[in-house]
């Protein structure tokens, strides 16, 4: 039996997990992400933490097949990172660097893509060959699996579906600098913004008006409880999601669309809300895509990162 | 040296080409597509034509590595056709059927996807690993290559990008039954429709008003000659194309976007018109995609069909 590590590198913490080759997670822990000095300590910290773990557990180096790592930025199939703004990183080959620090072979991918691979392997996409994964959190991320393999894209930016344009006439800029991106409407942030706009322009009574700091959860809770303003806001969100995912499925034609991220905690209500709009916008030949919730939560990245290593070195 | 056949099955003619394994087209001819009786004669006709050719040229059966065929409808990776309305076909495995008729192994794909593979191999996408191919003709078709492999999709409907939604508020239905599809604006038919609408609602003088039967070529010719109405119509088309291809590239992140079909005869003027709008709508990390014109014309399907066979049996 061989073993390996899956590493999910985030802006504040690094999640590290130890797996056996069947994909069983045997252990996991976190270390802080130190972004000072251009993020120069991040990879040495990871290497040291893994070395300490191996030594403490008495694991033979020869039992380790390799490491996989998900990175919050574009990474191409060769492991070249093309700037991670929130880590302070420029352009370099992360696979080579982390390999020389640890002595183990390393495979890297974009964090959203890697999380998609995790859900494909052990989560909501299990048993499928083609999957679209979308995370609805502070932003909107994505990952695509085509015939069992992650779509990296030519520049490591495959599946940046949160920045597809939904509203060419939008006047407010997205974080990316463009206007009218999916992320401006379908992220948790976007839903709250749409709700505030709705409440400001309508006279409808709503429990949402009593909230000091309106959250996405408040809106789903109020919608579930029958608040008509919340229902109207969610309907707008479902409509956008249906068009957005319909368009993605017209490109990819997957068996399954897996939805993760904080917003997916709304559960089946979310899937039921999106489905009719998805059917309205998707091309008939791609309309059989099944919808599922992500099931690995914060572990998706670690699972996917290890799977990258397993596919490459296992 | 091995040889094989690439077959491009269309609604009126079947194009058949004979290749050597380096991809050199040695010969090509056409036979009519007989769609009567549910299209039951189509495959026997193809098998007979190939058999006659082999016998006439004295080719040994053992020199043939196999056949590839592009079909005007969805085909999954296993060769199951899921209805070709204009051939009268239902659901069946075309690879198995044509193999039993010819004695040679057969690989099948959707015609637009197969043409994409041809352009990827020997045309506008040569030397790339990731490509988006779009054909602008009577309709809008597409094909996508990811890390050298055709994206078939779970149900054989990958890259149906002509039916992504551009205008959710469109009232006129698309041929597919939905409203606001790319095909309604970016096909030759769509451009002419937009032009007629523009001319009807504006008072602008234009050479286009003198045409009895306005064609897409008229509009490009007038635009090139400086006709302001034609320029405004084309600007609207370029804007749609930029948004559409920006969204596709945000999903796929290709090195190259290859444009084919009748509209692509407009040449570099077309690429120059789309580029600024593409840059407006695409996510920065996917913005490096190069634009190119398809270069194989009507032979793209035969090249791609043979490449399917070569990849599978070569």
pLDDT (tens digit per residue) in A147-188: 999 999 998 889 999 999 999 999 999 989 999 999 999 999
- A107 in Cβ contact with A314 (< 8 Å): no
What does DSSP say about strands B13-20 and A64-71: parallel, antiparallel, or unpaired? unpaired
Res A71 pLDDT > 90: yes
Are A76 and A87 spatial neighbours (Cβ–Cβ below 8 Å)?
Answer: no
Q: Closest Cα to residue A129, out of A292, A288, A254, A301?
A: A254
In terms of pLDDT, which residue wins out, B227 or B73? B227
Of A82-86, A260-264, A279-283, the one with minimum mean pLDDT is A82-86
At residue A85, the pLDDT reads 82
| pLDDT the model gives residue B310 | 97
> How does pLDDT run across B159-215, given as a tens digit for each residue?
999 999 999 999 999 989 999 999 999 999 999 999 999 999 998 899 999 999 999
CA distance B121 to B123: 6
pLDDT of residue A204: 85
CA-based nearest distance B17→chain A, Å: 29
**Cα-flanking dihedrals φ and ψ of residue B305, to 5°?**
-65, -45
Q: Which of A227, A280, A55, A208 is nearest to B177 (CA)?
A: A280
| Banded pLDDT at A74 (limits 50, 70, 90) | confident
**Percent of chain A topping pLDDT 90:** 93
Please say whether the beta carbons of A14 and A34 come within 8 A: no
* pLDDT band, residue A216 (cuts 50/70/90): very high
pLDDT value of position A156: 85
The pLDDT, as a whole number, for residue A168 is 95
Confidence category of residue B73, pLDDT binned at 50, 70, 90: confident
Residues of chain B in contact with residue A286, where contact means CB-CB under 8 angstroms, are 153, 155, 157, 160
Residue A199's pLDDT is what? Answer: 96
User: B47 vs chain A: nearest CA distance in angstroms?
Assistant: 29
State the CB neighbour count (10 A cutoff) for residue B85.
9
Chain B residue numbers touching A144 (CB-CB < 8 A): 251
- Pick the range with the lowest mean pLDDT from A220-224, B60-64, B135-139, B222-226: B135-139
Asked if pLDDT for residue B220 goes beyond 90, the answer is yes
| Predicted confidence (pLDDT) at residue B83 exceeds the cutoff of 90 | no
Q: Give the model's pLDDT for residue A235.
A: 98
- ipTM of the complex in this document: 0.92
Chain B hits for A177, Cβ within 8 Å? 284
Give the model's pLDDT for residue A82.
Answer: 86
Q: Do B251 and A178 touch (CB under 8 A)?
A: no
Q: Taking CB atoms and an 8 Å cutoff, what residues of chain A touch B75?
A: none
Nearest neighbour of A153 by CB, restricted to B157, B178, B252: B252
Q: Which residues of A touch B127 (CB under 8 A)?
A: none
Where does the pLDDT of residue A77 fall: very low under 50, low under 70, confident under 90, or very high at 90 and above?
Answer: confident
DSSP-derived letter for residue A170 is -
User: Which residues of A fall within a CB distance of 8 Å from B129?
Assistant: 154
- In percent, how much of chain A has pLDDT > 70? 100
The reply to whether residue A152 touches residue B147, judged by beta carbons under 8 angstroms, is: yes
Question: Taking CB atoms and an 8 Å limit, are A160 and B246 in contact across chains?
Answer: no
How does residue A76 score in pLDDT terms, banded at 50, 70 and 90?
confident
Calpha distance A292→A256 (Å, rounded):
7
Q: Which residue of A has its CA nearest to B278?
A: A165
Nearest to A253 by CA among B68, B63, B153, B170: B153
Strands B290-293 and B256-260, sheet pairing: parallel
**Could you tell me the end-to-end alpha-carbon distance of chain B, in angstroms, rounded to an integer?**
10
Please write the tens of the pLDDT for every residue from B88-132: 999 999 999 999 999 999 999 999 999 999 999 999 999 999 999
- Facing A251 at nearest CB: one of B129, B243, B248: B248
Give pLDDT, residue B260.
96
Q: Do A176 and B144 lie within an 8 Å CB cutoff?
A: no
Token couple for B252: 């796929």
Q: Which residues touch A22 (CB under 8 Å, ≥6 apart)?
A: none
SS (H, E, C) chain B: CCEEEEEEECCCEEEEEEEECCCCEEEEEEEECCCHHHHCCHHHHHHHHHHHHHHHHCCCHHHEEEEEEEECCCECCCCEEEEEHHHCEEEEEHHHHHHHHHCCCEEEEEHHHHHHHHHHHHCCCCCCCCEEEEEECCCEEEEEEECCEECCCCCCCCCCHHHCECCCCCCCECCCCCECECHHHHCHHHHHHHHHHHHHHCCCCCHHHHCCCCCHHHHHHHHHCCCHHHHHHHHHHHHHHHHHHHHHHHHHCCCEEEEECHHHHHCHHHHHHHHHHHHHHCCHHHCCCEEEECCCHHHHHHHHHHHHHHHHHC
pLDDT digit string, tens, across residues A28-44? 999 999 999 999 999 99
In whole numbers, what is the pLDDT of chain B averaged over residues?
A: 96
Span B233-240, mean pLDDT? Answer: 98
Q: Answer yes or no: is pLDDT of B74 > 90.
A: no
């Amino acid at each position: 039996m061989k073993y390996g590590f899956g590493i999910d590198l985030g802006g504040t913490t690094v999640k590290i997990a130890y797996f056996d080759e069947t994909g069983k997670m045997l252990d996991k822990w976190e270390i802080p992400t130190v972004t000072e000095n251009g993020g120069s300590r991040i990879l040495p910290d990871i290497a040291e933490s893994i070395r300490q773990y191996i030594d403490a557990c008495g694991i033979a180096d020869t039992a380790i097949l390799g490491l996989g790592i998900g990175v919050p930025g574009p990474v191409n199939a060769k492991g070249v990172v093309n700037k991670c703004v929130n880590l302070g990183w420029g352009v370099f080959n992360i696979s080579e660097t982390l390999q020389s620090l640890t002595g183990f072979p390393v495979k890297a991918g974009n964090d959203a893509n890697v999380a998609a691979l995790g859900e494909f392997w052990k989560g909501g996409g299990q048993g499928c060959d083609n999957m679209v994964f979308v995370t609805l959190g502070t932003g909107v991320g994505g990952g695509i699996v085509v015939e069992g393999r992650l779509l990296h894209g030519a520049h490591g930016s495959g599946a940046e579906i949160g920045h597809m344009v939904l509203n060419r006439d939008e006047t407010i800029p997205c974080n990316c600098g463009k206007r009218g991106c999916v992320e401006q409407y379908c992220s948790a942030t976007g839903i709250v913004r749409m709700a505030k706009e709705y409440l400001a322009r309508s006279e409808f009574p709503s429990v949402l008006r009593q909230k000091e700091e309106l959250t996405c959860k408040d809106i789903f809770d109020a919608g579930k409880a029958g608040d008509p303003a919340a229902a109207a806001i969610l309907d707008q969100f479902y409509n956008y999601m249906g068009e957005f995912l319909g368009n993605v499925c017209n490109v990819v034609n997957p068996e399954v669309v897996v939805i993760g991220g904080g917003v997916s905690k709304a559960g089946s209500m979310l899937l039921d809300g999106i489905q009719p709009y998805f059917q309205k916008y998707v091309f008939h030949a791609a309309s059989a895509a099944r919808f599922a919730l992500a099931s690995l939560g914060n572990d998706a990245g670690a699972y996917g990162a290890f799977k990258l290593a397993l596919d490459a070195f296992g």
